[in-house]
Amino acid sequence: MTDDILDQLFRRLHAEGFRQVALELVQENVDQVRFSSNTKDLHNHWNEESISVFAETNGRTVSTVIKDASALDSAVARLKEIAARTPENPSFSSLNPEPQSYSGMPRARSSDVDIEDLASAMINGSLASGSERVAGLVYNRRSAVTVMTDHNRCSYETGGIEAVIRAFRGNFTGQEAQHFGIEANVDSSTMERLGAEAAETASLAQQKADVEPGRHRVLLSPYVMGNILTYSSGFLSYYSVETGLSCFSDLLGKEVSFPGFNLHDSPLDFNGVGARLCDEEGTATARIDIISGGVLKSYLHSYSTASRAGVKTTANAGIISPRSWQLQLDAGRRGYKKILEDMGDGLLIGNSWYTRFQDYRNGVFSTVPRDGVFLVKNGEISGSVSGIRISDSVTSILSGVREISREAKNVKWWEEIAPSSMPYVLVDNVNISRAF
C-alpha cells in the first residue's frame, strides 16, 4: 500500500459522511532468525502492511484495520453500516486540530544487519560462558509509518533489532531479552555479551533453596521491573482513571514512591524500538514526566481526554484510551552488585511472566518468577528458588522501592514486557506466595 492509497481512503471516508478521520499506514519489513539446541534452525523474512482507521460522524466513532488495498470499498461500506447502528461516544470530543511540527527524527543506521551473525554471536558467547545449550530469536524490524488526519500528516521510520536468548545449565536457566532502535549501534560483541549474561545467570547458583511465603526484601531485575511497569502502564491512562479501572486514581500530585524514582515516557529515544514521532492522531510526541521525585505528575492523555481533564494532550493517543510508548525509569548511583551485597537477606529475581491482575482498581496482581530466582543470605546468593509467585499490588511495589541501580537495560520480551528501559530496583516488603 502507498500514500496514494491512504489519500484515496481518506477522501472516500469523508465522501461517505465521516467528519473526522485519522489513518495510520504501517509498512513493516521483518527479518527473523531462530535458534535452538545451539543451532540456527530457521530464517524467515516477511512484509506486512496495514492501515488503522479511526473515523467519527455525528459523535459516533468506529475503527478497523485494513490489510488489503483491494478491500477499501468494502471496509468503508462496513464502517458506515456500523456507525449507523452505534450510539454516540461520550469518550471522544475531537482529534487534535492544532497544526504540528515534527522534529527529532534521527538518521537511521543501515538496516542491512546480518542477523545470522548476530545469532551466532549470542550462541557462542553463551556457550563460552558456561551454558550447555541455548535457544532464542533475533529480529530486525523496520517500519515506515504515516499518520494522516484532517489537520496533520506525519511520516517517520522506526524499529530495530530485538534479541532473546535463554541459556540452560542443568536444570537452571538464564535469559536476556533486549531491543536496540534504529539509532543504536549493534554488533557481534553486543550479542556475545547478551549470551554471556544469560549463561552467567544460569550458573549463579547450582543448588536448590527454599523460601518461606511472606514479605521479603527483593532485588528486581530490569526484566521484572519492565514486566510490572509496562504491564500496568494502562493504569496511567486518563481513560482508566475516568472509568474507575486505575490504581492511580486520586493520586495525581501525591507521593507514590521514594524520591529517587523518576519514570518517563520517552517516545523520541530512537535507541529503542518503541520510538515514534507522533501519536495516532498526529500530535508530535515528547518526553513526558509521569513520576518525578516519587510524585505522580501526569496521566497519559489524548486530545479528547486532555480536553475533559482541562490539560494539554501528552501525545499518547490511543485516541479513546491513551497508552505509553516507551517507558524509561531513570538509573540510580550504585551498581546492582553493590546493592546486592548490602541488601542483607532476601531474593534476587531475574525475570517473570504470566502477569495477571485480580483487581484493576487497586492494582493487585500476581506474576511468576523464572530464569534466575535466587535466595540471598547476608548479601550473597546461596541457592536457586522455584515455585513462587509475586502476589502484590503495583502501588505497594512502588511505595516499597528503596534503591535503583546505575545499570539499565533496554528490555522487551514477548507480550510480557513492552519496549522500555529499566534498571535493577530494590523493593522492601514484597509479598511472596507459593506458585504450586
The string of DSSP letters for 255-274 reads B-S-TT--EEE-TT-TTSTT
157 DSSP β-pair partners: 144
- Mean pLDDT throughout 39-57? 97
Taking the C-alpha atoms of residue 234 and residue 231, their distance in angstroms, rounded to an integer, is: 7
- Mean pLDDT throughout 302-309? 98
Strands 214-220 and 346-349: parallel
- pLDDT given at position 365: 98
- pLDDT given at position 110: 55
- pLDDT given at position 139: 98
Tell me the pLDDT of the chain averaged across its residues: 96
- Dump pLDDT digits (tens) for 97-119: 999 999 867 766 656 789 999 99
DSSP-derived 3-state class of residue 195 = helix
> Residues, the chain, total?
436
The one-letter amino acid code at 163 reads A
- pLDDT given at position 249: 97
Backbone angles phi, psi at 131, to 5 degrees: -75, 155
- Mean pLDDT throughout 286-311? 98
- Looking at the predicted structure, is the pLDDT value of residue 81 above 60? yes
- pLDDT given at position 109: 65
- pLDDT given at position 103: 82
Which grid coordinates are listed for 4?
Answer: 496514494
- Domain range list for the chain: 115-203, 214-434
C-alpha torsion sign, points 160, 277, 25, 416: positive
Residue with cell 553493590: 338
Torsion angle of alpha carbons 192, 218, 428, 430, nearest 10°?
120
Residues 6+ apart with CB under 8 A from 258: 294, 401, 402
DSSP-derived 3-state class of residue 19 = coil
**Maximum Cα interatomic distance, the chain, rounded to a whole number of Å:** 71
Q: At 341, which helix (H) or strand (E)? A: helix 336-342
- pLDDT given at position 205: 87
Taking the C-alpha atoms of residue 24 and residue 53, their distance in angstroms, rounded to an integer, is: 7
CA atoms within 13 A on the CB side of 49: 9
High-pLDDT (> 70) share of the chain, %: 98
Taking the C-alpha atoms of residue 222 and residue 230, their distance in angstroms, rounded to an integer, is: 11
How many CB atoms within 10 Å of residue 68?
12
- Dump pLDDT digits (tens) for 326-344: 999 999 999 999 999 999 9
Which grid coordinates are listed for 143?
Answer: 517500519
- pLDDT given at position 111: 63
- Looking at the predicted structure, is the pLDDT value of residue 400 above 80? yes
DSSP-derived 3-state class of residue 238 = helix
Q: Are 309 and 238 in contact (CB under 8 A)?
A: yes
- pLDDT given at position 1: 72
C-alpha torsion sign, points 27, 31, 34, 38: negative
Torsion angle of alpha carbons 359, 363, 368, 374, nearest 10°?
-150
- Dump pLDDT digits (tens) for 114-149: 999 999 999 999 999 999 999 999 999 999 999 999
Which grid coordinates are listed for 400?
Answer: 516499597
Q: Are 331 and 406 in contact (CB under 8 A)?
A: yes
- Dump pLDDT digits (tens) for 421-434: 999 999 999 999 99
364 DSSP β-pair partners: 359, 393
- pLDDT given at position 273: 97
- Looking at the predicted structure, is the pLDDT value of residue 289 above 90? yes
Nearest CA to 316 among 271, 269, 361, 282?
282
Residue with cell 533486549: 178
Residue with cell 551473525: 117
Q: At 347, which helix (H) or strand (E)? A: strand 346-349
- Dump pLDDT digits (tens) for 343-399: 999 999 999 999 999 999 999 999 999 999 999 999 999 999 999 999 999 999 999
Taking the C-alpha atoms of residue 10 and residue 151, their distance in angstroms, rounded to an integer, is: 12
Q: pTM here?
A: 0.96
Residue with cell 549493534: 186
